[in-house]
Structure 1
Amino acid sequence: MAELAFCLPDLPDVRDFATAQAVQSGMSEEALADFLVAVNEVATNAVTHGHPTAKAVLRMWSVGRVLVVEIHDEGRWTPETPPGQTPPAPHATSGMGLWVARMVSSDIRFETGAAGTFITMSFKV
């Protein structure tokens, strides 16, 4: 398992780290761009909507031909419906990150509670 703690100024490092892990896991060049959009969107949410003084954590590991990405922050929220299931409104300028992540990952799961929020995405490699 590879792990990186990050805050808002570290987002370029998050993308570099995720790219290296994805390439190492065998992800194709064609899949890499969508993968990075999803990771960047969820990581950005973690540091803009999570706990304001805590770092978020990115963890990545492979299970067979699947790359698993977990992003954890210390924020908590109670969504009425699973996040990211509704497409953004036409001409939306925000609120589309989790929807985009859902569209490009093969699976996405959300868990929120006393330990914070965990978003786990899977990508076929």
Structure 2
Amino acid sequence: MPGQHPPRPIRSAFVRHVPLLPSFSQVQTGRRHRPHRRRPVAFRTPQGVARPPPVHADELKIDRPDLYWLRAYVAEYARRTPLPDEDLQRLLVAVTEVVTNAERHGAPPIVLRMWTDGARFDPAFVCEVADGGRWPPDAGFGLVPPRRSEAGTCGRFGLWAVRLLCSLVQIRTGPAGTVVRLRLALPPGFGDGG
């Protein structure tokens, strides 16, 4: 099978979970993969500007988050899409965590945007939280769970848990601030008239 690519779901897993899985060529050749020897910065999402949200994206500026009303707002928008109820619950937990992080560790303004991406082969519900804060250069972006010694402290599971809840989490930070974009897969056929 040299030269062939793995099936699409497996390729997708490699893209979404880079720090946890070896590359397909490493699986074929049997070379060892030791992610624990790399510094977390090696796994960071590339810095830069994310593709801008579409003009039809729903936008909410957040001054002081009232998490109850924030979840109600997100749920009301998401219920207008074919997002399954189980994924809606995951979305609400993830959005709460990301907005809380933006308030605690980021800087104003905090803006929440939501839209559906009707890409033919990968339809998704997309939610992004942007703020004016920046991450330190060696931040791990929640790519690995906290150590046992950190687990007893307040927090530390936030972005790691968010990555487990969503189909894809993209984090970009730079001089203009930080954008955390959450994607949850929609049922096949959404957006292609099917």
Q: For 1:21-71, what per-residue CA distance to the aligned partner results, in whole angstroms no more than 9, with x for missing partners?
A: 2111111112221111111000110111111xx231000110123011110
Match of 2:170 among 92, 109, 122: 109
Match of 1:13 among 62, 69, 75: 69
Matched, 1:57 2:118: no
Q: How does 1:35-74 map to 2 (within 5 A)?
A: 35-51=91-107, 54-64=108-118, 65-74=123-132
Aligned length: 123
The secondary structure found in structure 1 opposite 2:136 is coil
State, as a whole percentage, how many aligned pairs show the same letter: 37
- Deviation >6 Å, runs of 4+: none
**Equivalent residues of 1:108, 1:120 under 8 A apart:** yes
C-alpha deviation, 1:85, in angstroms: 1.0
**Aligned-partner Cα distance in 1 for 2:111–2:131:** 7
The secondary structure found in structure 1 opposite 2:68 is helix
* Gap runs ≥5 in structure 1: none
**Equivalent residues of 1:68, 1:121 under 8 A apart:** yes
* Gap runs ≥5 in structure 2: 1-56, 187-194
Amino acid at match of 1:21: Y
Name which structure has the greater RCO, CA cutoff 8 Å, separation 6+: 1
**Equivalent residues of 2:127, 2:181 under 8 A apart:** yes
Q: CA RMSD in A?
A: 1.6
**Equivalent residues of 1:60, 1:70 under 8 A apart:** yes
TM-score after normalising by structure 2: 0.59
**Aligned-partner Cα distance in 2 for 1:9–1:81:** 24
Name the structure where strand makes up a greater proportion of residues.
1
TM-score after normalising by structure 1: 0.88
